[in-house]
Amino acid sequence: MKTITTAHTPQTVLDLDLMPPSRSPWSETWRLLRKNRMAFSGLVIFAIFFIIAVAGMLLTSGRKPVLDPAQVRLQEKLRPPMSVPIPETVVSGTAPILGRYLLGTDDLGRDVFARMLQGAWVSLTVGFVAVGISVLIGIVLGGLAGYFGQRAIRVGHILSWSLVVAAPILALAAKPLAALLAAAGALAGWAFYAWRRRRRGEPTPVLLRWLSWTAIGVDDLVMRAVDIMLCFPSFFLILTVVALLPPSLYTIMIVIGLTSWMGTTRLVRAEFLSLREQDFVAAARALGLSDLHIIFRHIMPNALAPVLVSATLGIASAMLTEAGLSFLGFGVPPPHATWGNILSDGKDFIFDAPWLTFAPGIVILIVLLAFNLFGEGLRDILNPKLRERN
């Protein structure tokens, strides 16, 4: 007992120059990424692809693009790569800007290089927007399911929320009386909750007890929705949806995003289940932070590592899905070029003009390989247990 009542202990003088350099988690990740050769080359290829795609978008769009992917030169059709246009046959002003067809021309005499550039931007945006949508849905649903898992959704909740949703819908459908009734019902529900909140601990009147029956748990609701979505063969679901909706680049992105959020949701939920029991969550609650603040600002950054990995791999698979859809003719409508429809157009001439299939095929292969290598490397780096010891 006496030992801990000692007088003031003198402060040790710390020589801060002798401390190891301060490293943030990001700089540590970067350092490990540099050491992992495969992942780093994946990242480099991705960076090059990104620059090319952005440049391609700039060069092939506008009223008078530098490289016109839609310029038809019927006399110059099916020219092999690196061939020089024949001056006599080319209409003035339509010759390729580089003086050569770098990747040849297709059956309509369009410059394949220009079309590939345009397709790169499509692939990039489809990949990122689709994965962005799916990650956003996955993070929100997974976070809510993981954090609020044990909370129950009660009959009263469902009733009042459906009234809240129904009121504006009925109002839009020009049914003022029904809308007014729904709004009044929602207001009554709110008043009931406020009244119950003020009288916590008192028993609920018997007649209203059915309102607090448990309908379903938050976790159950979200995870069963995931199970149901996973039951659909997603490519065919996408085919069906795309066939019904007007074909456009945005439809493709949104549909791919809306059919691929289940994996992320499961990952985020699993992370949350272990993270929400951590002391720092209790400490954050002791600081008086709100639930949403804790979910999205405190727990989420800790749960993002596996999401980042699956998003990287997801970009590759979204690009592949888009290429597949375009190949089948359900994707981005012509004349807009994507890697999938260049491949699809080229397959008829595979023996006469193999570059029409090989150019998009090889590029898809390289880019997807780069993404997968980067994703796998990132997984090894972000998970200390998978890190190589050396």
- Written as six digits, the tokens of 379 are 């997984």
**DSSP class of 296:** I
Say if CB 128 and CB 256 are below 8 A apart.
no
> Count residues contacting another protein (CB under 8 A)?
33
Calculate the CA 178 to chain-centre distance. 39
Least distance to another protein, CB of residue 311, Å: 18
Residues 259-288 within binding reach of another protein (CB under 8 A): 278-280, 282-288
Burial of 3 (0-12, 13-18, 19+ CB in 10 A): exposed
Judged by beta carbon, residue 137 or residue 152, the one nearer another protein is 152
Least distance to another protein, CB of residue 299, Å: 9
Burial of 67 (0-12, 13-18, 19+ CB in 10 A): buried
289 binds another protein, rule: CB under 8 A: yes
5 binds another protein, rule: CB under 8 A: yes
92 binds another protein, rule: CB under 8 A: no
Interface pick for another protein out of 3, 18, 246, 390 (rule CB under 8 A):
3
Least distance to another protein, CB of residue 188, Å: 20
**Rounded to 5°, angle at Cα 176 from 170 and 180:** 85
292 binds another protein, rule: CB under 8 A: no
How many CA atoms lie less than 13 Å away from 81 in the CB half-sphere?
Answer: 11
Least distance to another protein, CB of residue 293, Å: 8
Judged by beta carbon, residue 1 or residue 231, the one nearer another protein is 1
195 binds another protein, rule: CB under 8 A: no
Residues 143-162 within binding reach of another protein (CB under 8 A): 150
- Residue given tokens 């603040």 in the structure block: 293
Interface pick for another protein out of 87, 99, 172, 197 (rule CB under 8 A):
197
Judged by beta carbon, residue 100 or residue 285, the one nearer another protein is 285
Residues 204-243 within binding reach of another protein (CB under 8 A): none
C-alpha span between 220 and 149 (Å, rounded) = 8
C-alpha span between 146 and 150 (Å, rounded) = 9
Judged by beta carbon, residue 64 or residue 199, the one nearer another protein is 199
Least distance to another protein, CB of residue 285, Å: 6
Least distance to another protein, CB of residue 389, Å: 19
Q: Reduce the DSSP state of residue 302 to 3 states and report it.
A: helix
Say if CB 83 and CB 72 are below 8 A apart.
no
C-alpha span between 18 and 287 (Å, rounded) = 35
Q: Which residues bind another protein (CB under 8 A)?
A: 1, 3-6, 8-9, 11, 14, 16, 22, 24-25, 150, 197, 200-201, 278-280, 282-290, 293, 298, 301-302
